[in-house]
Amino acid sequence: MPFPSIPRDWSSNPAREMLAGAVATFALIPEVIAFSFVAGVDPEVGLFASFVIGIVIAFTGGRPAMISAAAGSVALVVAPLVHAHGLPYLLAAGLLAGVIQIVFGLLRLGVLMRFVSKSVRTGFVNALAILIFWAQMPHVIGGDWTAYAVLAAGLAIIYLAPRITTAVPSPLICILILTIAAVTLHLPVMTVADLGRLPDSLPIFAWPDVPLTLDTLKIIAGPAFAIAMVGLLESMMTASVVDDLTATTSSKNRECTGLGLANAASSLFGGIAGCGMIGQTVSNVKYGGRGRLSTLFAGAFLLILMVLLKPWVSQVPVAALVAIMIMVSIDTFDWSSLRTLVVHPKMSSFVMLATVIVTVFSSNLALGVTVGVLLSGIFFTFKVARLMKVELDSTPERLVYRVSGHVFFASADAFVEAFDIASAEGMQVRIDVSHAHFWDITAVAALEKVVERFRAHAVATDVVGLNEASSTLIERLDSDLKLKEI
């Protein structure tokens, strides 16, 4: 962290930073507890993880103001491991995943985020907003009118309170008013205490209780790699979203290393691995979080709430937290993307929609982003391949084929088909590639095939205009191709 960034990251408007972090903390509680159940562990495992990850990544991460904690995608990955082998192996897998992420960052592989298009990022954000909203429905559907009334009151407070004051974030006002109302009026609503057993002590440092054997490594290697990749993907996507929201840049490589350190620390303190939480991060940024202090306070405040203030937090109505999460989902969704669906190129819109659909129906953010990236690559390749053209200029004695564009595996067949062997008999052929570039071995093989076909029909053929890079590639990959440079 460069020295000039220290004041901006830590001491810029501390009150605002801590209030924003507090909002993110309340937004974390229902999700972390729910994700713990998905993973098959006690809520305290997810809560301890969120505290440790928040504290560590506040110092080591590459994206200030980003909230990282126990996440649903990681919970889905580790659930089979917990079911088959228990919590100790989950902790060991999280520790190994942290090591993998550290190595990923040290190798500076964060640059791979450049291959994720804006369409995929928009689809990722929209899908996550839908999943956040849908995850709140079990807390609401099937309840009596009281739960709906509390939820409606919470949303009203969140959206109307800013018209009265912005000194305190409206979600915190929502929590305070609804908790007091539920306690004093004895409202029959579900509270945080009903979600599961909350921690009653501080996390304790301990090495995972698994044998240090090759068999253990075989058990945890696959899940650890999956945890590492899913965590990295979501954290990098979340960091990119914050970059866009704040018009600033972040260090993706440092975020990879920081996440690895945080997950390793979480595992050593009895917590599940985690990653960036886009909903809570958007909430943090919306209410003024810009530096590392908001991230640090979100993690520290979570521990304070769960341990020191547990009797009070236990009485917070779940409907109040659901109201916050619905607000988060509304703010997270990129509503402008609906308007631009008919404006953007059809392929870009298709990629965005495919990312949303796959993510929502699989409940797997990593799968959705992977499909989006693959489709983006395929469509881009298709567009570039179509730019390759072969034009014919003829004289009574010579045929001149002028090639322009990029010749590679996707355009190689079209390149070969553009040459008419039969019409060239008894003439000379010149292939002018001054405005073309040959990228791979498939392109070189295509050029070789064309030249050999002409020469097999006794047609004198020469190739002119090869640029230096193409010539070097041809010499390296196919030294038997004899090309006459004129």
Distance of alpha carbon 133 from alpha carbon 125, whole angstroms: 12
Q: What's the confidence (pLDDT) of residue 1?
A: 43
Amino acid letter, 195: L
14-39 and 292-303 are packed helices; what angle lies between their axes, rounded to 10 degrees?
50
DSSP state of 429: E
Q: What's the confidence (pLDDT) of residue 481?
A: 56
Residue 458, Ramachandran bin (φ over 0: left; ψ between -120 and 50: alpha; else beta)? left
Distance of alpha carbon 182 from alpha carbon 323, whole angstroms: 15
Distance of alpha carbon 146 from alpha carbon 315, whole angstroms: 15
Closest CA to 255 of 1, 48, 80, 11: 1
The predicted model scores a pTM of: 0.76
Distance of alpha carbon 482 from alpha carbon 9, whole angstroms: 61
Q: What's the confidence (pLDDT) of residue 28?
A: 86
| Exposure on the CB side of residue 376, measured as CA atoms within 13 A | 22
Cβ atoms 115, 373 nearer than 8 A: yes
Q: What's the confidence (pLDDT) of residue 141?
A: 80
Q: What's the confidence (pLDDT) of residue 220?
A: 95
What does the buried/exposed string (b/e) look like for 443-461 if buried means 16 or more CB atoms within 10 Å of the residue's CB? bbbbbbebbeebeeeebeb
Distance of alpha carbon 405 from alpha carbon 367, whole angstroms: 33
* Helix/strand/coil for 350: helix
Tokens of 33: 């507890």
Scanning the structure block, which residue is given the tokens 């009596």? 144
Amino acid letter, 143: G
Amino acid letter, 457: H
User: What are the DSSP E strand ranges found in 262-328?
Assistant: 274-276
> Which residues are within 8 A (CB) of 375 and not within 5 positions of it... i.e. 6 or more apart?
350, 351, 354
* Residue 140: how many other CB atoms lie within 10 Å: 17
Per-residue pLDDT of the chain (486 residues; tens, 9 = 90+): 444 455 566 767 889 999 999 999 988 887 788 778 777 788 888 888 999 999 999 999 999 999 999 887 788 778 889 989 999 999 999 999 999 999 999 999 888 777 888 899 899 889 888 888 887 888 778 778 898 999 999 999 999 998 998 888 889 899 999 999 999 999 998 888 887 777 777 888 999 999 999 999 999 998 999 899 888 988 988 898 899 888 888 899 999 999 999 999 999 999 999 999 888 898 899 888 999 999 999 999 998 888 888 888 889 898 988 898 888 888 888 899 999 888 888 999 999 999 999 988 887 777 888 899 999 999 999 999 999 999 998 887 889 999 999 999 999 999 999 998 888 887 899 999 999 999 998 999 999 899 989 988 888 888 888 888 888 877 776 555 555 443
The 3-state DSSP composition of the chain as helix, strand, coil percent (nearest 5) reads 65, 10, 25
DSSP state of 191: B
Burial bucket for residue 301 (CB in 10 Å: 0-12, 13-18, 19+): buried
Neighbouring-strand partners of residue 436? 405
Tokens of 445: 């093989």
- Dihedrals phi, psi of 295, to nearest 5 degrees: -65, -45
